[in-house]
Amino acid sequence: MAGIKALISLSFGGAIGLMFLMLGCALPIYNQYRPLFVLFFYILSPIPYCIARRLVDDTDAMSNACKELAIFLTTGIVVSAFGLPIVFARAQLIKWGACALVLTGNSVIFATILGFFLVFGSNDDFSWQQW
């Protein structure tokens, strides 16, 4: 039952984050859909860590270069997602209010992604042998 509560709260967090992103795009005073490019960063951010988790043997206690590279790439993707709306606002492609809404949505979405990996990433019951 705890897994269902976590899943519901994570989906609520994702919906709130996407609401802030859509408000930054679709409100009549902003009316620019360029901030939707951060959706690519939402999709790309968990990919390096998921690949590294499949490749790394987690039995050693020491840090692994593959895992460190995955964390570095994920950090670069997250920083780029926060930087893109700021660059758009500085170039006057979007307004600063839309930038603030998109940054708020970014914070909520990335906290939701982090929460997903903290809640569901620890138990690795899935086995490739069933395929």
Whether the per-residue pLDDT at 2 is higher than 80: the answer is: no
Closest CA to 55 of 45, 41, 69, 44: 69
pTM, whole model, 2 decimals? 0.83
Whether the per-residue pLDDT at 90 is higher than 70: the answer is: yes
Beta carbons of 112 and 3 less than 8 angstroms apart: no
Whole-angstrom Cα distance, residue 103 to residue 97?
10
Whole-angstrom Cα distance, residue 30 to residue 50?
36
Whether the per-residue pLDDT at 98 is higher than 90: the answer is: yes
Q: What average pLDDT does the chain have?
A: 87
H-state helical runs in 1-131: 2-26, 38-44, 47-55, 65-90, 96-120
Q: In the numeric block, which tokens belong to residue 91?
A: 């170039």
